Structure 1
Amino acid sequence: MSEAVRSGHQGEERRKKRLLEWQDTEGIVFINPQAQRAYAARAARLSAAYNLEEPDRVPVTINVGSIPAYHYGLDYRTVAYDFERLVKTWERFNQEYAEGLDNFALPQRIFPLKVLDLLEYRLYHWPGHGLPEDSRGYQYAEGEYMKAEEYPAFIQDPSDFWLRTYLPRIFGALEPFRSFRSLTHIIELPMTDFTPLARPDVQAALLSLVKAGKEFGKWLAACRQATEKMIASGFPILRSFMAKAPFDTLGDTLRGTKGILLDLYRRPEMVLQAVERITELTVAEVVQTARNLKAQMVLFPLHKGADGWMNPKQFETFYWPSLKKVVEALVEEGVLVTLFAEGRYDSRLESVNDFPKGAVCWWFDQTDMARAKKILGDRCAIQGNVPTSLLVTGTPEEVKAYCRKVIEACAPGGGFILCPGASSDEARLENLLAMAEAAKEYGAYRKG
């Protein structure tokens, strides 16, 4: 047996073990026996879909975004600053509306805005800070946060670049970090290297981090409490975290859209070197994080690999090889990988099917689902594509008709999860509930 085949078998065994542990109800204190049975049914349904098997019916999952706040007369800004109201609102929403779903509304989707205030974050605008106070969420502030001439410094020592250049740029409170010397200068007598710590502005920056950390801890505790209640009520949740494609780290986080587009033509070799460096670090980081968290899934939101953003040759050169390397490391570790393909991926489908069966789930935004099922369905689970525009402007009848069409195209043989193609912050609640009804009416599998 070759090393690659052996590694593939080991990854499959680890992945199935993680999913079985997730389905196991032992050790969970449920509110009643019905909740325990509901938990087991939901976990089994989703696990079967991820494993490309047929469950009792098509699973349905929905990210409701900030809808619970507005449904009960609140807004995004209110619950993002008041964690008690956030948790109570989301708990009420789940009690009233989550019964027909296989997931539940996560308060973790609402980020604690005071943390951003304390650190003077510049990478986003949010309600009351660059956006009107009644805005429903936050907005990325596009920019070049790494200059073109800084490629060599980043490639040589990424951690040093993050600490002394990038963080001071995106956090106003951390601008004093520019005064630090490179950590490679520290010797066995490091007194002179600690000189910046005596500066009042550096001390203020460190204090800002402490305050932000305490605020984040309060939010984390509140969200954890709400999540534990939902688990006890019969809703499983995969232990998971989010990661990025190496090219997106460079293109989104560092160079920005305009910068990276120019780089593809003006300095392609530098782009490849930077992506390779990021890939090395990303592989090590995601594998270690998965181990630390005992994670069952990692979600990758994919941005700049979509159709129309780069041509197929660029995708095969700059985007896919590095992402594939990261995914393969997680697959070997036994972690389920969900790739959220934002935009369209119609021209990519033939190139992205080289994974072991059941190791990857593709979440599509606007991709042709029937074609995706035909090309990927023998190896990868698929989900998504119910348009946000339909959920916002359509009727429940129109939503159910669309869901029926997608179910009929993608459900046969298993490996399909019904869900929106993107976040649904302004969707009509009755349309989201119509998705759950469609899964029950049209998504049942015939056994025997």
Structure 2
Amino acid sequence: MTQAAAERKQRVADIIALKAPNRVPVFLQINYLAAKYSGLTYRDAYYKQDQWLEAFEKFILDYTPEMFLSGDAPVITPGPIHDLWGTVQMKWPGHEIGVNASHQFVEGEYMKQEEYDLLLDDPADFLIRVYTPRVYKNLAGLSMLPPLKVFVLGCYGGGFIAGALAQPQVTEALEVMLKASKIGAEWGMKFAEFHQRMDQMGFLPSHTAPVIIPFDVISDLLRGMRGAMMDMFQVPDKLIAAQEKLLPLLLGAAIQGAKASGNPRVFIPLHRGADGFMSPKQFEKFYWPFLKKILLGLIEEDLTPIPFFEGVYDQRLEYLQELPKGKILGWFDRSNMVRVKEMLKDTMAITGGMPASLLQTGTPESVKEYTKKLIDTVGKDGGYMMNSSTVLDEAKPELVKVWVDFTREYGVYR
């Protein structure tokens, strides 16, 4: 590892530990900008992995951030797998939207309120036999499987199980899953190799193992925002019970994934906990207990959570003061960054604050002015990593270069 690579890694470690390194490090949410930078389409990221990773690496080497949003972002699932599965919950570039349009999540009520009891009784059974066929058209055959407990207990004998699996619709779904698994393994191996190569050069991938907290799983994926908000009033006990059921599964998967990858950082996108989605009392009852358990659970395993506090979290900062000191990198979107610094300077490292819109429509002078303000306020005395409020899909590469270069020039501590 070169000295420059070691220095980049040390800056990140210092920031998370609430120290001041030699200068303010940079965290870039590159996302689709790498395609634009190299003349690819957004669709290419989903279907031409080699070219996509070459473009991503070129961007990193040209801009040299200390940390970057992982190289498999925004490709949550490769295009060929979406095609095989018949994905309903997402529109990706070139599929129902333009080849240079950012992917879109298709929210819906994929679980009915009366189905909470099924989820609580056996989460795996519900998710495989009921939920999955609704969100993947080509896996509809899974709905014809008998309850999974039958397979575990074997109470009907091998002949019954073999007969259940031999149904044409079930067989078709299993064949689709097998084909997708082979593609996923190939893509996953290349992403892992890419991340390892970047890590060796001192360019740290933000994470390899993300986790979604229980409320957001229910609100995003199962009930939809409207359904989850109604559940807080109509079936609050079941909503809480479902979160308690899901929490160990989600936390366990994140810990296992992070340790297997060797990357200790775990990304946590937070979607429904912002000030505008629920009242402080609702946040305290339905959201914070589970978010806190996820954060503490990761920290107990010597992992570094990177929660992305989407939207405004100004009313939630007091809760965040309860967390262990120097163990978390909090990424803030549209919160008051000066207040965030005042409230959390002794609790967690801070990243974010640069409006992505300014990097799209601003001027070099306005970008420098805003960067200076962030460094002078949020970056004071360390504990801050320069970062945009959200991904850089529509940013101008030349303005991003101004921003990164000026951060290095002005953000010097010693």
1:71 aligns to 2:37 (yes or no):
yes
Aligned to 1:109: 73
Distance across 1 between alignment mates of 2:159 and 2:91: 39
Distance across 2 between alignment mates of 1:110 and 1:389: 19
Distance across 2 between alignment mates of 1:90 and 1:290: 22
The equivalences for 1:379-390 within 5 A come to: 379-390=347-358
Preserved contact between residue 70 and residue 207 of structure 2 (Cα < 8 Å): no
Distance across 1 between alignment mates of 2:397 and 2:145: 51
Distance across 2 between alignment mates of 1:321 and 1:228: 34
Q: Which amino acid aligns with 1:90?
A: F
The equivalences for 1:153-192 within 5 A come to: 153-186=118-151, 187-188=153-154, 189-192=157-160
Distance across 1 between alignment mates of 2:178 and 2:399: 43
Distance across 1 between alignment mates of 2:202 and 2:279: 45
1:43 aligns to 2:1 (yes or no):
no
Aligned to 1:331: 299
Q: Which amino acid aligns with 2:280?
A: P
**The residue matched to 1:306 in structure 2 has which SS?**
coil
**The residue matched to 2:140 in structure 1 has which SS?**
helix
Distance across 1 between alignment mates of 2:110 and 2:337: 36
Distance across 1 between alignment mates of 2:45 and 2:259: 32
Distance across 2 between alignment mates of 1:150 and 1:322: 22
Distance across 2 between alignment mates of 1:69 and 1:284: 34
Preserved contact between residue 355 and residue 379 of structure 1 (Cα < 8 Å): yes
Distance across 2 between alignment mates of 1:206 and 1:221: 22
Q: Which amino acid aligns with 2:67?
A: N
Q: State the percentage of identical aligned residues.
A: 35
Once the two structures are superposed, what CA deviation does each residue of 1:259-305 show, in whole Å capped at 9, x if it has no partner? 11111122222211112212233233333334433441111000000
Aligned to 2:245: 277
Q: How many angstroms does 1:339 deviate by?
A: 0.9
Distance across 2 between alignment mates of 1:107 and 1:357: 29
Q: How many angstroms does 1:56 deviate by?
A: 0.5
Distance across 1 between alignment mates of 2:249 and 2:60: 38
Q: Which amino acid aligns with 1:102?
A: E
**Cα 1:77/1:283, change in 2 over 3 Å:** closer
Preserved contact between residue 69 and residue 206 of structure 2 (Cα < 8 Å): no
Aligned to 1:145: 110
Distance across 2 between alignment mates of 1:42 and 1:425: 24
Distance across 2 between alignment mates of 1:302 and 1:83: 28
Preserved contact between residue 198 and residue 205 of structure 2 (Cα < 8 Å): no
- TM-score with structure 1 setting the length: 0.87
Once the two structures are superposed, what CA deviation does each residue of 1:121-156 show, in whole Å capped at 9, x if it has no partner? 111011232213x23321000101111110111111
**The residue matched to 1:273 in structure 2 has which SS?**
helix
Aligned to 1:32: none
**Cα 1:239/1:257, change in 2 over 3 Å:** closer
Distance across 1 between alignment mates of 2:71 and 2:361: 25
Unaligned 5+ runs, structure 1: 1-24, 26-35
Distance across 2 between alignment mates of 1:291 and 1:231: 15
Distance across 1 between alignment mates of 2:240 and 2:185: 38
1:122 aligns to 2:96 (yes or no):
no
Preserved contact between residue 70 and residue 208 of structure 2 (Cα < 8 Å): no
Distance across 2 between alignment mates of 1:137 and 1:66: 8
Preserved contact between residue 239 and residue 294 of structure 1 (Cα < 8 Å): no
Q: How many angstroms does 1:221 deviate by?
A: 3.1
Q: Aligned-residue CA RMSD in angstroms?
A: 1.8
Distance across 1 between alignment mates of 2:257 and 2:72: 19
Unaligned 5+ runs, structure 2: none
Q: Which amino acid aligns with 2:314?
A: D
**Cα 1:221/1:363, change in 2 over 3 Å:** same
User: Relative to structure 2, which stretch is displaced further, 162-171 or 428-437?
Assistant: 428-437
Question: Among 207, 214, 217, which residue is 1:249 paired with?
Answer: 217
**The residue matched to 1:411 in structure 2 has which SS?**
coil
Distance across 2 between alignment mates of 1:406 and 1:83: 36
Preserved contact between residue 37 and residue 234 of structure 1 (Cα < 8 Å): no
Question: Among 307, 312, 315, which residue is 2:283 paired with?
Answer: 315
User: Relative to structure 2, which stretch is displaced further, 255-264 or 282-291?
Assistant: 282-291
